[in-house]
A and B are shown apart, each in its own frame.
Chain A
Amino acid sequence: MGLSLNIKKMKLITSTYRFFDQDIEICSDNKETIELMDSMYKRFNVKAGKKYAQSTRYEVLTSSLPGKKSVIRTNGYCREIEHAAYVPSIAHGIIMRQTLSKVRSHLLFHAAALSNHNRGIIIVADSGCGKTTLTLALMTRGFRFLSDEIAALSLSDGQLVPYYRCLWIRSGTINALRRFGLDYPDHESVRRTGDREAVHVSGKSLGHACRLDYVVFLTIPSDRDKGLCYVTVDRIGKKLLSDLQATAEVEEVINPLSGMHPKKTDSRFPVLKVRTELLYKVYDFCERNGVLILDAKEEDKEHCLFDSKPEIQKISKLTGAMELLRSFYGSRNSELFRKDFKRGPAQLIEPIIKLTRNTKFFRISPGKLNLMVEEIISVL
């Protein structure tokens, strides 16, 4: 790639992880990068050398010499970063986006997943609706944790499999649990960023691969305000930013005070204030134009939304499958689309329908947390 870094003189740390059918080896001279990955994905660590899946090596190299940039590189990709302080978060974003886009063994959905007596349940929720809070609340009733971020269905046997990444807990989540007299499940805190804390639930709370029996969609009624979201994006030129503002009807572009970055503001990392229901336009635009999203934070939802009586209703399998398709984690760059479902996202509806033929689908409106838990348990 034309870079003249002398790797032999640097002290490098290596860590290897397995995500479904993808192994990644990260080799870095930046301790913080490895620490961030290890803290978030400690349950994905594998011993170097034992590879059975497709393997990709990433080099994350910093330089403290004036004028020299840091670099993240892998086969066919190289990205320079001006300030070493941003390397861990940017490296994490790039590596995970690329890795998960290569997964072909599983369908990945942006959702939480739990198990209850070997019956799997996926919870799909609008941003900031309380998916994490609901996940923790169900765990207080004996549900086992599979994932807070990605629900993964095996394409070979339809099993719902774990993705034991750490949970990012906001103070609002703890307050909600306390408000309804629910215990915070046993956990280990691994890092803190701004107002969020990364935790790993204890081993005894972990579930195992199981069949998918239920999918619950937690959705704010369409006549209610879904609130705002603050999205921090990586470097972006003026023209592209202007196009993004127009496409996603961005309400405001502000300087960042994101917890992911050093506290000084930096105009190269714009923060976009968008309506939550338009967030998908931001993601779609950034994906198409190669813009990295560094952070996305939802404004706390109206308190009154969670004071009401929730209602749960069964929905048809086709409606459920279509809504699940909407939460598919991949994108047009996904290997699944490029190699296995070449005619596009529509092709995914068939495997989703096949994998969920014995699954029951429900929709629940937000309400008091303890009542939401009872409603969900009542339909199982």
Chain B
Amino acid sequence: MYSKILNDMPKRKNIKETKVDDELSLYDFESKKFYMLNPAASIIWSLCDGLHTVEQIASELKKRFEDAGESVSHDACRIVEKFKKQGLLE
């Protein structure tokens, strides 16, 4: 299930990304909403390209955040679900 979510749902096109240091802001031109992503969520977002699975994203997070706990896969999936719920993914 985790793999299917990401393979089938890359990020939508009409979203403006603005990077500041290691954080990201997203502006959805359709809903006119802003989203602010912390460093971890920014990495997850950058890998929502339809080519990465949750396991691969969790692996990337573990590489970048040494203190990432065991629940990192679950956290990554939860964040992707949030992106999906907000309509940010195709």
* Interface size band for A: 10 to 19
Interface status of B20 (Cβ within 8 A of chain A): yes
Residue contact A316 to B23, C-beta cutoff 8 Å = yes
Residue contact A322 to B21, C-beta cutoff 8 Å = no
Cα of A322 to Cα of B33 in the assembled complex, Å:
12
Cα of A346 to Cα of B21 in the assembled complex, Å:
19
Residue contact B23 to A353, C-beta cutoff 8 Å = no
Cβ contacts under 8 Å, A316 to chain B:
20-21, 23
Cβ contacts under 8 Å, B21 to chain A:
316-318
Interface status of A344 (Cβ within 8 A of chain B): yes
Residue contact B20 to A353, C-beta cutoff 8 Å = yes
Q: Mark A52-76, 1 if CB is under 8 A from B, else 0.
A: 0000000000000000000000000
Cα of A71 to Cα of B78 in the assembled complex, Å:
60
Residue contact A346 to B20, C-beta cutoff 8 Å = no
Closest to A317 in B: B20
Cβ contacts under 8 Å, B36 to chain A:
318-319, 322
State which of A318, A343, A344 has its C-beta within 8 Å of the C-beta of B25: A318
Q: Mark B40-71, 1 if CB is under 8 A from A, else 0.
A: 00000000000000000000000000000000
Cα of A322 to Cα of B27 in the assembled complex, Å:
11
Cβ contacts under 8 Å, A317 to chain B:
20-21, 23
Closest to B26 in A: A346
Residue contact A322 to B34, C-beta cutoff 8 Å = yes
Interface status of B7 (Cβ within 8 A of chain A): no
* Interface size band for B: 10 to 19
Closest to A319 in B: B36
Q: Mark A313-329, 1 if CB is under 8 A from B, else 0.
A: 00011110110000000
Residue contact A350 to B20, C-beta cutoff 8 Å = no
State which of B20, B24, B29, B34 has its C-beta within 8 Å of the C-beta of A343: B29
Residue contact A318 to B23, C-beta cutoff 8 Å = yes
Known: A318-B36, A319-B36. A346 touches B27 (CB 8 A): yes
Cα of A318 to Cα of B23 in the assembled complex, Å:
7
Closest to A316 in B: B23
Cβ contacts under 8 Å, B25 to chain A:
318, 321-322, 349
Known: A322-B25, A349-B25. A344 touches B32 (CB 8 A): yes
Q: Mark A249-268, 1 if CB is under 8 A from B, else 0.
A: 00000000000000000000
Interface status of B3 (Cβ within 8 A of chain A): no
Residue contact B23 to A346, C-beta cutoff 8 Å = no
Residue contact B27 to A349, C-beta cutoff 8 Å = yes
- CB B17 to nearest CB in A, in angstroms, measures 11
Cα of A321 to Cα of B21 in the assembled complex, Å:
12
Cβ contacts under 8 Å, B20 to chain A:
316-318, 321, 353
Cα of A343 to Cα of B16 in the assembled complex, Å:
11
Interface status of B18 (Cβ within 8 A of chain A): yes
Closest to B37 in A: A318
Cα of A120 to Cα of B35 in the assembled complex, Å:
29
Cβ contacts under 8 Å, B23 to chain A:
316-319
Q: Which residues between 332 and 364 of chain A lie within 8 Å of chain B, taking CB atoms? A: 343-344, 346, 349-350, 353
Cα of A264 to Cα of B16 in the assembled complex, Å:
53
Residue contact B18 to A353, C-beta cutoff 8 Å = yes
Cα of A318 to Cα of B22 in the assembled complex, Å:
9
- CB A372 to nearest CB in B, in angstroms, measures 27
Chain A residues near B (Cβ < 8 Å)? 316-319, 321-322, 343-344, 346, 349-350, 353
Chain B residues near A (Cβ < 8 Å)? 16, 18, 20-21, 23-25, 27, 29, 32, 34, 36
8 contacts between A and B (CB under 8 A): A318-B21, A318-B23, A322-B25, A343-B29, A344-B32, A346-B32, A349-B25, A349-B34
- Apart from A318-B21, A344-B32, A350-B18, what 12 extra A-B contacts exist at CB < 8 Å? A316-B20, A317-B23, A318-B23, A318-B36, A319-B36, A321-B20, A322-B25, A322-B34, A343-B29, A346-B16, A346-B32, A353-B18
Top 7 closest pairs, chain A to chain B, by CB:
A346-B27, A318-B20, A318-B23, A317-B20, A353-B20, A349-B18, A316-B23
